Amino acid sequence: MMTVGFIGLGNMGGPMAANLAKAGYRVFGYDLHWDAQERLTEAGGVAAATVAEAVRDAEVVVSMLPAGKHVRGVYTGADGVIANAPKGALLIDSSTIDVDSARAVAEAARAAGLLMVDAPVSGGVGGATAGTLTFMVGGEQEAFDRAKPVLSAMGKNIIHAGGAGTGQAAKICNNMILGISMVAVSEAFVLAERLGLDAQKLFDIASTSSGQCWSLTSYCPVPGPVATSPANRDYQPGFAAQMMLKDLKLAQEAAQSAGAATPLGAQAAALYALFCNAGHADMDFSGIVKYLRGDA
Are β-strands 60-63 and 46-47 bridged in parallel, bridged antiparallel, or unpaired?
A: unpaired
106 makes contact with ligand NAD (CB under 6 A): no
The count of residues in the chain is 296
Residues 72-91 that bind ligand NAD (CB under 6 A): 73-74
Q: Which stretch binds ligand NAD (CB under 6 A): 63-71, 143-151, 265-273, 287-295?
A: 63-71
30 makes contact with ligand NAD (CB under 6 A): yes
Contacts of 72 (CB under 8 A, 6+ apart): 101, 104, 105
CA quadruple 97, 103, 108, 112: dihedral sign? positive
70 makes contact with ligand NAD (CB under 6 A): yes
Nearer to ligand NAD, 73 or 224 (CB): 73
Nearer to ligand NAD, 155 or 221 (CB): 155
Q: Which stretch binds ligand NAD (CB under 6 A): 64-72, 83-91, 222-230, 285-293?
A: 64-72
Which residues is 76 bridged to in the sheet?
A: none
Q: Which stretch binds ligand NAD (CB under 6 A): 70-78, 152-160, 172-180, 265-273?
A: 70-78
Q: Which stretch binds ligand NAD (CB under 6 A): 21-29, 65-73, 150-158, 281-289?
A: 65-73
Cis peptide leading into 238, omega within 30 of 0? yes
Nearer to ligand NAD, 123 or 221 (CB): 123
SS3 assignment, position 80: coil
**Separation CA 187–CA 194 (nearest Å):** 11
**Separation CA 44–CA 29 (nearest Å):** 11
Burial class (CB within 10 angstroms; exposed 0-12, middle 13-18, buried 19+) of 197: middle
Residues 201-260 that bind ligand NAD (CB under 6 A): 243, 246
Q: How far is the CB of 194 from ligand NAD (least distance, A)?
A: 33
**How far does the chain reach from its first CA to its final CA, in angstroms?**
52
Q: How far is the CB of 202 from ligand NAD (least distance, A)?
A: 29
Nearer to ligand NAD, 74 or 106 (CB): 74
137 makes contact with ligand NAD (CB under 6 A): no
**Separation CA 226–CA 222 (nearest Å):** 8
Nearer to ligand NAD, 159 or 197 (CB): 159
SS3 assignment, position 116: strand
Q: Which DSSP string do the residues of 255-271 spell out, in sequence order?
A: HHHHT---HHHHHHHHH
Q: How far is the CB of 73 from ligand NAD (least distance, A)?
A: 6
What residue ranges bind ligand NAD (CB under 6 A)? Answer: 7-13, 30-33, 36, 64-66, 70, 73-74, 95-96, 121, 124-125, 243, 246
